[in-house]
Homo-oligomer: A and B are copies of this chain.
């Protein structure tokens, strides 16, 4: 594995040195030229030394602070933080119907995410609502995030103006000094594969850096589409984009906290669609984490991605493969960890709740087998002896509620008619969704802050 990473790294350095990355920002080009980066027209070329010097300046780990300190996140080291699905404009209903996501869905997801213990971050594009004005949607969503959540904030990328507006709103809530002191939000900075970083990304980066808000650098080349079909090449291409962007971030401001967030996908070459339920996708997520470790950077990788167009055996095995591999390979920050169906095309409430079950299973697995004297239970084994049973033994009684993992969605209950099973599964999902929604409590917000936020929106003619 080490030599695989080394070969991808060497290929990456060759790409950065000989092919380069096109940058669509005159101000950024100006700044990196001053730092000795070779630029021809829009194309910037990086040497291995420039890259390695830059990555050495990135914090190995950092904190993101939540309005409720219970939800502060530590990003890096051996910690893992989950973020739900991101960016879908559609919802898939339990009967398979595909429909546009609405503002109500956005709020419902904010509540589900807030109520779940799995997440310490909320917001972002939990869904992209189609019933609100696209020009203002980022402000409406941010006002929803601030109203419904006090976890860390997943912010929303966009043009310079919109990222600035979100920073303004967060400034109202946290105060400028407090906001700039330490990360409160994460923003995705996407490259455009192959080998382009566009104006929005570079502008967003400048704004985030001004407010000292950490970013996730996230190239997503599609093998066979926007990237080469061979995985090692697709990884090299995405790695080149990630390293170029990270290098730029450190030139703009040394020590800027960034997460290495490469997420290369595959394509289903038979129909031209992106594919995120294939093992090629899972393998590339693994190497995203491996490459980040190689550079000593906190990583974003993995998720419970699926190509399935409904909650199904396919959504189950794809989501589990992705999440198991995610944890196995030491992801620090996991986007798309719940709800994604249809190759990033849609969110599903039922998939969301199934993915929480999957995360719970994988968490149990990676906690491994405890081996205290109590766990080894020599006394109980001696007591029961040969051919006996442990069901009625006190060792079992005392631990039966705490030691085993329990199904929430799945079941192995005995049924009067086995054909009731599938329906029961659906009803378990609805019950668990209902339980989460019922347990949701809206956080409090200072009335002055609330008024200031309302005014900020009102001045801009934004109607929530």
Contacts and interface: CB of A to CB of B under 8 A. Distances in A.
Contacts of A21: 386
B325 A282 contact: no
Interface in A358-410: 358, 361-362, 364-365, 368-371, 374-378, 380-382, 384-391, 393, 395-396, 399-400, 403-407, 409-410
B270 A406 contact: yes
A318 B97 CA distance: 26
A312 to B, nearest CB: 6
A420 to B, nearest CB: 8
A404 to B, nearest CB: 6
A25 interface: no
Interface string A433-444: 000000000000
B314 A317 contact: no
A461 interface: no
Interface stretch (A200-208, A233-241, A248-256): A233-241
A456 B422 CA distance: 47
A308 B410 contact: yes
A380 B228 contact: yes
A74 interface: no
Contacts of A448: none
A386 B419 contact: no
Contacts of A274: 412
A318 B384 CA distance: 31
A271 B226 contact: no
24 contacts: A11-B378, A22-B386, A96-B419, A97-B418, A98-B418, A194-B384, A194-B386, A224-B396, A225-B389, A225-B391, A228-B393, A228-B396, A230-B376, A230-B395, A233-B378, A236-B377, A266-B404, A268-B404, A283-B368, A307-B407, A310-B422, A314-B411, A316-B318, A318-B320
